[in-house]
Structure 1
Amino acid sequence: MYWGCTHVSRHVKPAPHEGDVRFTFGVHPKEHVTDHGLAPYYAMDSLIKEWGDRWETEGKPAEEIQFQGETWATCFDYSKSGLDPWDNPDFELEQVREFQFYFVSKDSPTYEGVRADRDKRVKGGTITVRPRWPDLRSDGEPVSVPDYGAPYIDVQVQASNIPHETYLTLVKRVMDAYGIHSRYFDHPHPDSHIDDLAYYVRLKRSESGPLYAPDGPIARAHTLIQGDRSGYRKHVENHTKIPGYYVTATVEDEKAGELVRGHSLGKELKHYYPEEPQQYAPDEAPYHPKFEVSYQTSRTDQTVRWDDLEDARRELEETILNSLEWAGLATTAASDAFVEFDPYWDVVNTHKSRKLVKCPLPEIEDEQEHRVMQLWGDMTEADRDVTELLLTDGGKVSPQEAAEKTGNTYRTIREVTNRMEGLIRHTYGELELESKKIQQELLKRVRAAGDRFEQEIGSAAMELADVAEERARDAWSRLRREYAISSVDRDDCRKLLKVGYQPADREEARNILREIKTTYQEHVESIMAGVHVVVTLADGTRRRVRDLEQAFQKSVESQQREARHNQQAREIFDFEAWKAAGCPPADEWDTG
């Protein structure tokens, strides 16, 4: 299946969150690059000896660095590695250690003014250095690590709220501060890889509901594209402390392309608040939730290399932007749905091209419902037996087991499987329902039919009227992106359209409102009653319009001009006429 897509070059830039990168240094396949082996590791061990008794009197070595325009506190430490010393004459160390470098931004609002290893490091992290060599052992037992036929070091960077692409620069800057040559870290081995990667946007509490709603992208991604039994399925909804407190869904790598064509990473979509959201005021960032998409190593067969960082970042950011789009939220920085006072995220647009696609979930849902309706009308008793078995059996079922449990022949089971293709999936000798959605639809019908199964099937000339209603079309999607229009369900109106773009003056506002009215009626729904629109001018003047039908009408002047010159009347936005029609706005033009 293919869903039309557009590439946008103006969209909000998600913030980097967690990151975990494993660099390999000291061996390199390119002959012109010097192999430093364990040289940086020996330099770190020497640092311990040089510091000597000062570990007891002065504490751990600490240095300040300048990085990303900020001052960072760092400190150096070590721990036992549990590895056996290398049985090689070049290795003269009696004890094998791991080395840790802690770092934290002193300019971060959460910096506590303590040594880097004692700070909570909301913006910071650790660099852990581990030695590696052929035939690596621990207590005499082999240790499973890559063997390149030569010694090397493993450098793990774990950090939060720091651009992931700067991790390598950060390593070199920290090492320089402790007198360890940065040239050792110039050329990471191609096997250097990423274990964790996450990006987020922070939305106002009042705006984020469509993301975690039962029909929102998080829940539907789980219901519609994850198989009934195979693979990994995880969906968590915890609304105990606040609506949307912790809502997640995991998408496996093999399913990622069903969300956005070309995607291949296993990932988690997550809407969440801090542990105690009630402790914060509306003008504090943690009062408002994050929407985050993170790469899941355990749900992805392929290894994401350090050199693949930009591709991985693109896929995660596209998942965020498409989820916002599918939830009716704007994807540009002009939208007032985003929290502008997050200390670790600047709400700005970026011009990196990102792919936005028409939401596939409604089409998948409609297709699956339609498929159930079609096949339900033709079901035999054997079909029903297999369906009920798959709905109630706790484990995976092979065709042979299905035959034994239903009393049908193996050949009949194969015929059922072929006949019900699209509802039942047959892979690796096992049967399962195609998705959670199909499971729910079938379960609903089986329960409703009860003993009247044959009657229900017989009367299933079933309203095969196509249930696939028209969803938001391309023209409306383009307009929403252009003017950062977010769509919100409210108690005081049927739907509120919030225009993030700020027109320069009233004339531009009139033109935009007219365009919204025309496009909305042509591509979403023809009736505008109850659809409100809020727009704010560049000077802060704000307008909420309750009824675009009444707000636009031909002026007397344009009618006279049409009569005199036999030309088409020019439609204008007439606020006074709109008021006279008995529909005053909720807000007057003001400067508030």
Structure 2
Amino acid sequence: MSRHIKCAPHECDVRFTVGVHPDPGVPDYGLKPYYAMDSLIKEWGDRWETDGKPTRDIEFNGETWATCFDYSKSGLDPWDSPEFQLQTVREFKFYFVAKSNPKYEGKRADKDKRVQGGTISVRPRWPNLTSNGTPVSVPDYGGPYVDVQVQASNLPHEDYLSLVKRVMDAYGIAARYFDPPHPDSHINDLAYYVRIHREYSGPLHAADGPIARAHTLIQGDRTGYRKHEEDNTKIPGYMVKSVVEDEKAGELVRGHKLGKELKHYYPNEPQKYTPDDAPYHPKFEVSYQTSRTDHTVRWDDLDDARRELEETVLNCLDWCGLSTSAESGIFVDFDPFWDMRDTTESRKFVPCPLPEIEDEQEHRVMKLWGDMTDADRDVTEMLLTDGGKVSPKEAAEKTGYTYRTIRTVVDRLEGLIRHTYGELELESKKVQQELLKRVRAAGDRFQQDIGSAAMELADAAEERGRSRWARVRREYAITEIDAEDCRSLLEVGYTADDLDEAKAIVREIRTAYTECVEANTYGIHVVVETAESGRERFRDLSNVFTSAYRSGDYIRETRAAEKARDGFDFEAWKEAGYPVGENWDGG
């Protein structure tokens, strides 16, 4: 069964609807939890002035949490109903913070920075809700109910509802009021991350990394929401992020459908930390973007949303040649908010689609450019230079061609020009860049010299190669590193039992690498940790058993030493490429 790193939960914002439920077997409590909180205020009485806000300590998930209860005016008008006897409509809030966390400052929960904690906001709702006489738009379920919003960080998102019930119980408010929530309960914000040692994270935020390329290759030229931000002022990769809209999510990982943000970032002042501090090392995070997703993600959809965000994190690591195993050593195991460990939860890995998308778009531009008519080129240049959204009618006015000619151009240049919602745009930033090269080439015509059939065969072979090498990398938690003393260093996160198993692993790595990456393996070194002998470094996959570095000391394994060893593996010797002529006796 495949193992991979379990991502850390970061921010989450959930809106639970309680007190009403479509299942007739579930009792409707209406505003009872709200009335219970209002009674708590009255019971506390003058102690608000003398003792301060009510506080409670609770035990939850094996930790002690400090909590605090507070209220404020909501701005809502009282409900015009005989059952509503309150003169003032309040909003209630519960603060919570983990006392056992090393960042806890010992303050009251509403005063602490809540590095691991959050708030529970409780708001009443009823039909025809108004504020100062103006209608307030909220879901109408035919009766009163309570909106419970939980906003927190650094605790498992699936535990939010249990935490709400535990907090309410501590203040004498019946937990049954909150379970089960209405099926319309939904998620507004959701994020998962991994924290990577600084020296390994470069490929993620590089110009050709998955964050930048996702923006360039799969985001349209004009329509929709496009956002890519890079801030390298304080440190390389200080803040690099891109947004992928829901309609494009499936191009990144097939089957995905959430709008999301990919982000590599450091804290505000990274220079304040040393390598022994977790914030010295960056986070790579993928977060659900409500505003970039057409459909609503319900509370019951949490498992699917979590899976999609974690798969995006894991695949981006994999595409960068970074191991996705906790054993690899690339992840920071002293992050106070993350129990870093591997899991066998099912997660989908796919070959990186970005090179294929890039190749396809380059080929498309090459194929169509050489056959463009004057009208094709004029419309293309207009789209490249015009700063606004252009309709076919506006394109006709700006170029002087008829509307029919513009529609013909759009049909002929399908794949370069996209026509959506009555507007024209270039297919992607990549297409825009490729076309700009050709426009600036003063009209040079480009021909496609390679037949499409041969191109498809080459792409298929490349795809198979990437898949096999990706499988071997994941199986042995291999991380590819640029090293000064070799062309490339492959670090194996998997710990072998002994030297023989290490050699077997290296043989498998060599086979997959030569078949799928490149035939020339000179200068490709492999490091494997063994339980028996410690760190082993094999020099050159092409000459893998001639020499090794063991625990830092250079050791040459001669042919005689190999032959003298019990159980000499003659087939392995041959596989390694050593002489086996008829006059050679192995001495």
Q: CA deviation at 1:335?
A: 1.2
CA distance in 1, matches of 2:127, 2:297: 24
Q: CA deviation at 1:462?
A: 4.7
Q: CA deviation at 1:556?
A: 5.0
Paired letter, 1:461: Q
Please give the per-residue CA displacement for 1:421-455, whole angstroms capped at 9, x wherever unaligned: 111111122111000100011011111x22xx1xx
Match of 1:552 in 2: 545
Match of 1:4 in 2: none
Match of 1:571 in 2: 573
Segments of 5+ residues of structure 1 without an aligned counterpart are 1-7, 562-566, 578-592
Q: 1:172-211 maps to which residues of 2 (within 5 A)?
A: 172-211=165-204
CA distance in 1, matches of 2:21, 2:88: 27
Match of 1:28 in 2: 21
Please give the per-residue CA displacement for 1:238-295, whole angstroms capped at 9, x wherever unaligned: 1111111000010000110111111110000000000011101101100000000000
CA distance in 2, matches of 1:324, 1:395: 36
Find out whether 1:399 has 2:385 as its counterpart.
Answer: no
The DSSP-based 3-state class of the residue aligned with 1:31 is: coil
CA distance in 2, matches of 1:384, 1:558: 71
TM-score, normalization by structure 1:
0.91
Cα distance, 1:560–1:241 mapped onto 2, change above 3 Å:
closer
Q: CA deviation at 1:463?
A: 4.8
Give identity over the alignment, percent: 70
Structure 2 counterpart of 1:408, from 401, 408, 412: 401
The DSSP-based 3-state class of the residue aligned with 1:502 is: strand
Find out whether 1:373 has 2:366 as its counterpart.
Answer: yes
Match of 2:447 in 1: 461
CA distance in 2, matches of 1:396, 1:551: 58
Q: 1:277-356 maps to which residues of 2 (within 5 A)?
A: 277-356=270-349
Structure 1 counterpart of 2:213, from 220, 237, 242: 220
Segments of 5+ residues of structure 2 without an aligned counterpart are 547-556, 580-587
Paired letter, 2:242: A
Q: CA deviation at 1:302?
A: 0.3
Q: 1:73-472 maps to which residues of 2 (within 5 A)?
A: 73-447=66-440, 449-450=441-442, 453=443, 456-457=444-445, 460-464=446-450, 466=455, 470=462, 472=465
Q: CA deviation at 1:489?
A: 3.0
The DSSP-based 3-state class of the residue aligned with 2:152 is: strand
CA distance in 2, matches of 1:179, 1:461: 77
Q: CA deviation at 1:493?
A: 3.2
CA distance in 2, matches of 1:31, 1:213: 55
The DSSP-based 3-state class of the residue aligned with 2:375 is: helix
> Quick check: 2:499–2:533 contact (8 Å CA) kept in 1?
no
Structure 2 counterpart of 1:485, from 461, 466, 478: 478
Q: Compare 370-379 and 485-494 and name the one that shifted more.
A: 485-494
The DSSP-based 3-state class of the residue aligned with 1:521 is: helix
Q: CA deviation at 1:41?
A: 0.4
Please give the per-residue CA displacement for 1:179-212, whole angstroms capped at 9, x wherever unaligned: 0011111210000000000000000000011111
TM-score, normalization by structure 2:
0.91
The DSSP-based 3-state class of the residue aligned with 2:127 is: coil
Please give the per-residue CA displacement for 1:148-192, whole angstroms capped at 9, x wherever unaligned: 110000000000001000000000000000000111112100000
Runs of 4+ aligned structure 1 residues displaced above 6 Å come to 557-561
CA distance in 2, matches of 1:226, 1:17: 26
The DSSP-based 3-state class of the residue aligned with 1:167 is: helix
Count of residues in correspondence between the two structures: 557
The DSSP-based 3-state class of the residue aligned with 2:276 is: coil
Q: CA deviation at 1:402?
A: 1.1
Q: CA deviation at 1:409?
A: 1.7
The DSSP-based 3-state class of the residue aligned with 2:107 is: coil
The DSSP-based 3-state class of the residue aligned with 2:243 is: strand
> Quick check: 1:247–1:270 contact (8 Å CA) kept in 2?
yes
Cα RMSD after superposing both structures: 2.2
